[in-house]
Structure 1
Amino acid sequence: MEAPSLSAGNALADSLQSYIRNEDAWRLPVSVSGAPSAAPAGRGGRLARDASAASAARLSLSRWSLAGIGAGAGAGSKELSATTPEDSYTLGVNLRSTDITFLHDGRLMFEGRVMPGMFQVTGPGHSARAVFHAACDVLHLFVPQAVLDACHREVSGNDHDSGVLIDDPLITHDPCIERLGQALLLADEAFTAFGQMYVDSINLALVSRLLELRSRARQAGGHPAMRKSALPKWRLKRAVDYIDAHLAEAIGLEDVAGAAGLTRMHFAAQFRAATGLRPHEYLLRRRIECAQQLLVDEEYSLLDAAQLAGFRSQAHFTTVFKRIVGATPKRWRDTQYAGA
């Protein structure tokens, strides 16, 4: 991909302050002197007391990007590793399609294509290792345990609640976290004086969503993806290759399942366990990525891009594009030209 799906409009931010710092090393928190604590005052000031009691209770947001991987002779791949500090979590939200091999504490968690909006959480003291086979762009939110505990106490009403754990290291997808990632990138486009306040608020919203997902998983008896067998790598490759080869055509679930050698019923559940997305949603995202590649070329009109990416009407194309990218095709294209 030539441009990240979630980064529409960043080229218009040349004259504005950047509120999302770039990392010097993968998953290395960026220290911002004088940054305000991200834990807000809640009912009875409980969160405010918690925040002042833990001076390190500060959310940190940064961005890591890597170019020149997997394109051209000798581009190869890049392997990176990091260990999360004992008192915090690392949340990674993907901004563009990339191909990776991801390990958590040495255990293989994911191998294949990661789509925009997919995320992963590494807990305190745990290690992450990734081999990037293509260019990448990701947001990292570093969440102190003290902030997580304070937010949980605010909801539970139990002042003695502490040591909350988020112990699911899978790479998965959540529409709410994807939208919050999009919202964070707006800070560099639309804010001046109040940008940091905006970023802090969205960071806290991400923490609350993680806690919500944790609560749901526990009520359901564990993460759903853990209970389903994922599509084997060779079957997943067949399915993905089929989708990529037929994007401009009408593709049904039965077609993709057949390419993987499975029935529709077995394929859909295993595909979602392997990718974090339903087959139809994955197909739509691949079509939008194809359209984005076409839109950066002035030779193609909006209608050309829609049809070549497999959309049967420009109205449907515009609706799906705006939902996934956060901007209309025309506006997204204009921002690419503005940054050229």
Structure 2
Amino acid sequence: MEASSSPAGGSLADSLKSYIRNEDAWRLPAQADASGAAASGAASAISAHLALSRWAVAGIGAGLPPQELSATTPADSYTVGVNLRSTDITFLHDGRLTYEGRVMPGMFQVTSPGHSARAVFHAACDVLHLYVPQAVLDACHREVSGNESAVSVLIDDPAVSHDPCIERLGQALLLADEAFTSFGQMYVDSINLALVSRLLELRMRSPTGGRPGQPKMRKSALPKWRLKRAVDYIDSHLAEAIGLEDVANAAGLTRMHFAAQFRAATGLRPHEYLLRRRIECAQQLLADEEYSLLDAAQLAGFRSQAHFTTVFKRMVGSTPKRWRDTQDAGA
């Protein structure tokens, strides 16, 4: 995935390649393009200190062995990882296992200053990393609270979580209907600042330090072996009609107990997880010119083209046709 400058009038995905740089090493901020136009206005002093990079590796699990990577966050900043595609991962924070299993697009993790992270990717991965200095968090907090003497804010929950707003912001960095050429850097800086704002919002909603808006996963998450049965069943029956009871039976639980524990383990309701897997399947099919839009919809398990288009646009940010055209243009 090479970063390159985009011609005038190109797609957003092309234009952003100059602003979202690829990392040479995992969680190592890529150097910003000094020629990019800086954001202006009240937020410029804050957004100018945010760095955004992308880490993507293809072929893991399909020829390449799992990749084990480690990094330590600098003493004065945070590393925010936002997942862009489903993958299988083992993640450790300060040497302690934090997450193991399937992560879906929109799931994120925050590593606070001075702490270490180690990850083993068992499948192809694509992650955005936003690097946020502690001073930026504090400046945002002071601006919102109106208290110039406010104590330093701390985000100290290293758990892997899911938030729909952060998922949409990640999509917004990659996909849009209009091209950005002259204002691309301002656009990216604005989304970066929105991500920081959302993280602070979630932190303010969670005074006890738990995961805001998320179930208490430690006590009620679906055991790994049951989760694997459920995921394997879904993956092998995508083209068929799948009901909650079907997946629960595969995991060996009743519908009620399965749904709650599945959401605790993945951050998603079973039906939402199923839709995401179907969309990912459809994307793989759409990348092959052999399949029509209707073929992709049906083989991914959608019973109507209209439903397929609606779900695809909600999750990916564009219609199936426009997404395919973008892939073809970038080939």
The residue aligned with 1:41 is 42
Give the 3 Å change call, closer, same or farther, for CA 194–312 of structure 1 in structure 2: same
The residue aligned with 2:168 is 179
* TM-score when normalising by structure 2: 0.88
* Distance across 1 between alignment mates of 2:16 and 2:78: 30
* CA-CA distance at 1:172 after TM superposition: 1.7
* CA-CA distance at 1:217 after TM superposition: 2.4
Give the 3 Å change call, closer, same or farther, for CA 319–15 of structure 1 in structure 2: closer
| Greater relative contact order (Cα < 8 A, sep 6+) | 1
Q: Deviation string for 1:282-333 (max 9, x for gaps)?
A: 0000001111111122222111111111111100000000111111111111
Range with bigger deviation, 263-272 or 304-313:
263-272
2:74 equivalent to 1:85: yes
Q: Deviation string for 1:67-89 (max 9, x for gaps)?
A: 221103xx221100011111111
SS of the residue corresponding to residue 206 of structure 2 reads helix
2:83 equivalent to 1:94: yes
**Which amino acid in 2 is paired with 1:89?**
Y
Aligned Cα root-mean-square deviation (Å)? 2.6
The residue aligned with 1:335 is 326
* Distance across 1 between alignment mates of 2:60 and 2:265: 23
* Distance across 2 between alignment mates of 1:16 and 1:88: 24
* Distance across 2 between alignment mates of 1:82 and 1:133: 18
Aligned ranges 1:238-257 → 2 under 5 Å: 238-257=229-248
Does the CA contact (< 8 Å) of 1:57 and 1:147 recur in 2?
no
* Distance across 2 between alignment mates of 1:319 and 1:240: 24
* CA-CA distance at 1:168 after TM superposition: 1.6
Match of 1:268 among 244, 259, 270: 259
The residue aligned with 1:3 is none
Total equivalences in the alignment: 319
Give the 3 Å change call, closer, same or farther, for CA 110–219 of structure 1 in structure 2: closer
2:109 equivalent to 1:108: no
Q: Deviation string for 1:243-295 (max 9, x for gaps)?
A: 11111111111211121111222212221121121111100000011111111
* Distance across 2 between alignment mates of 1:15 and 1:254: 45
2:149 equivalent to 1:168: no
* Distance across 2 between alignment mates of 1:262 and 1:323: 31
Aligned ranges 1:211-290 → 2 under 5 Å: 211-218=200-207, 223=212, 224-226=214-216, 228-290=219-281
Does the CA contact (< 8 Å) of 2:220 and 2:264 recur in 1?
yes
Aligned ranges 1:204-215 → 2 under 5 Å: 204-215=193-204
**Which amino acid in 1 is paired with 2:162?**
H
SS of the residue corresponding to residue 85 of structure 1 reads coil
2:19 equivalent to 1:19: yes
* TM-score when normalising by structure 1: 0.86
Does the CA contact (< 8 Å) of 2:37 and 2:183 recur in 1?
no
SS of the residue corresponding to residue 239 of structure 1 reads helix
